[in-house]
Amino acid sequence: MELNEGKNKFIEAWGIFGSEWGINRTMAQIHALLLVSAEPLSTEDIMEELNVSRGNVNMNTRDLITWGIVSRVLKKGERREFFQADKDIYKVAIKIMNERRKRELGPVLETLRELKQVKGNTTEAREFKRVVADISSFGENTDKMIERMVKADENWFTGSLMKFLVK
Amino acid sequence: MELNEGKNKFIEAWGIFGSEWGINRTMAQIHALLLVSAEPLSTEDIMEELNVSRGNVNMNTRDLITWGIVSRVLKKGERREFFQADKDIYKVAIKIMNERRKRELGPVLETLRELKQVKGNTTEAREFKRVVADISSFGENTDKMIERMVKADENWFTGSLMKFLVK
DNA sequence: TTAAACTTTCAAAATATATTGAAAGTTTGT
DNA sequence: ACAAACTTTCAATATATTTTGAAAGTTTAA
């Protein structure tokens, strides 16, 4: 397979994978394109490569930046901005997990904490509280686990954790 | 908070959380409703509780069944089927992870394996293959990790793993 | 064998999400 | 201060996904 065909296949695969996990296709594709580009790309480069509009590229690059996995870079002598993806996949994975932890897991955990306060001592109420407490405890542990991953260094992640889990 | 209000809040929260993770809202809500119901529910019960159509309930309950986290039950003397969710949240989480592994991770890993065969020995081609190999290795490890979780017993999950990660 | 009780299907409609692109806004160099 | 070069915004449009509900299909009991 040729390099260019490979890049296109990667962009396509990453786009599908992203959309299966609630990330919009273009955002995932821009991320993929930047991951496999040797050089940082401009808005125009991305527009051309993926056939999407300027507005779309602007929105999604900004979004990728707020996720902390893409950064703006300046080339000397150039007025416009270029974009570049962090190519360390462990850092990327941890940043994504951590952002989703904060944005999506956080609110659920808060709701679950409230729900443990439901009144009543009937069988039904106790059963409800048991289910909620189980889910809550599972969620809190997942939350702490991701927090620890963020603090740990890459070596811990690839070394100790992977050994513990996979070997 | 009263039990009923609590149940509704839980159903709402679970629906939002699900849709953020690429699971349709009704499916997540049906799952939530079954999780907090003391008794198995019929199609009609679910239609009424969530205000959705018969077709929608039918599609989504069948989908939940293929995920392995909801089962049909029969009540004696009753003609129709009732639905019941597995309330062991660890089992549920592992089943969901494992299904997503098979359905979504699998195809990506296959593509990545192909992409490692890209021709060329230029700096650009080597850089591409390095990025692909990194992502591939991360993905394969995640895949193996989930496979091990499936095989392990609940105690390993709640005990050893959580201790290793969180404590 | 019939019909009532129930489940499933799927084309059409509704809803939600993503994308466009032109206009407005901003920055920079002269 | 100006205008060229660039970025951002957002209402309109397009696309994708979900939901509906009536009709078709199936099962059961008498």
Distance from C-alpha of A101 to C-alpha of A105, rounded to nearest angstrom = 5
Cβ proximity of A65 and A72 under 8 Å: yes
pLDDT of residue B10 exceeding 80, the answer is yes
Output the pLDDT for position A77.
86
The token pair at B1 is 């908070």
Beta-carbon separation of B138 and A3 below 8 A: no
The string of pLDDT tens digits covering residues B53-109 is 999 999 999 999 999 999 999 998 888 999 999 999 999 999 999 999 999 999 999
| Residue B167: band (very low, low, confident or very high) from pLDDT cuts 50, 70, 90 | low
Output the pLDDT for position B163.
74
- The Cβ of residue B112 has, within 10 Å, a number of other Cβ atoms equal to 22
Give B56 CA → C11 C1' in Å. 15
CA angle B22, B3, B93 (to 5 degrees): 30
Query: In angstroms, what separates the C-alpha of B53 from chain A's closest C-alpha?
Result: 25
* A 42-101: CB under 8 A from B: 87-90, 93
Q: Which residues of chain A have pLDDT under 50?
A: none
Output the pLDDT for position A167.
59
Among protein residues, the one whose C-alpha sits closest to the C1' atom of C22 is A55
Task: For residue B66, give Cα distances in angstroms to B33, B60, B71.
Answer: 18, 10, 9
Name A163's Cβ contacts closer than 8 Å, sequence gap at least 6: none
| Residue B157: band (very low, low, confident or very high) from pLDDT cuts 50, 70, 90 | confident
Which of A20, A103, A117 lies nearest to residue B22, judging by beta carbons?
Answer: A20
Output the pLDDT for position B164.
76
* A 97-136: CB under 8 A from B: 103-104, 107-108, 111-112, 114-115, 117-120, 122-125, 127-128, 131-132, 134-135
Residue of A nearest to B121 (CA): A3
The strand pair at B70-74 and B81-85 is best described as: antiparallel
A8 touches chain B (CB under 8 A): no
Mutual orientation of helices A106-115 and A123-151 as an angle, nearest 10°? 150
pLDDT of residue B159 exceeding 90, the answer is no
pLDDT of residue B31 exceeding 90, the answer is yes
Who wins on pLDDT, B153 or A132?
A: A132
Output the pLDDT for position B29.
98
Closest CA to A83 of A92, A73, A68: A73
The string of pLDDT tens digits covering residues A105-136 is 999 999 999 999 999 999 999 999 999 999 99
The token pair at B55 is 């077709």
Task: For residue A107, give Cα distances in angstroms to A102, B29, B151.
Answer: 8, 17, 31
Query: In angstroms, what separates the C-alpha of B77 from chain A's closest C-alpha?
Result: 24
Name A121's Cβ contacts closer than 8 Å, sequence gap at least 6: none
Q: Which nucleotides of D are covered by protein (CB under 7 A)?
A: 5-11, 17-23, 28-29
Distance from C-alpha of A139 to C-alpha of B118, rounded to nearest angstrom = 41
Alpha helices, DSSP H only, in A41-156? 43-50, 54-66, 89-100, 106-115, 123-151, 154-156
Q: Report the amino acid identity of residue A146.
A: I
